[in-house]
Amino acid sequence: MNSEIQSEMVDVVRLTQENGSTMLCRGGEDAVKKAWGLWPIVKAEMTGEKQLLQWIVADPVYDPDDYGFLGMSEK
């Protein structure tokens, strides 16, 4: 399997809802826009913090049957 780890430094944003509750949003501008569409957000403010987000992009031709249980192939 050929996967590569992707990394990005993102800003942490505090979102305030109509009822006054707050939550932190990480993931950049796209994550803030998505949250704005999901919850009744009335305010977004930068906390000044940054956070490292990491994820793996899986190999599109990966077939788990080629590797067996936990990568222990019988082939």
Count of domains in the chain? 1
- Helix residue ranges per DSSP H, the chain: 29-38
C-alpha 58/C-alpha 3 separation (Å) is: 5
b/e for 19-36, b at 16 or more Cβ within 10 A?
eeeeeebbbeeebbeebe
Q: What is the pLDDT of residues 52-74, one digit of tens each?
A: 989 888 767 766 676 665 655 55
Question: 53: domain range?
Answer: 4-71
Measured CA to CA, the distance from residue 22 to residue 39 in angstroms comes to 11
Rounded to an integer, what is the distance from CA 72 to the centroid of its chain? 30
Which pair of structure tokens corresponds to residue 41? Answer: 């957000």
pTM for this entry: 0.64
3-49 pLDDT tens trace: 688 999 999 999 999 999 999 999 878 889 999 899 999 999 999 99
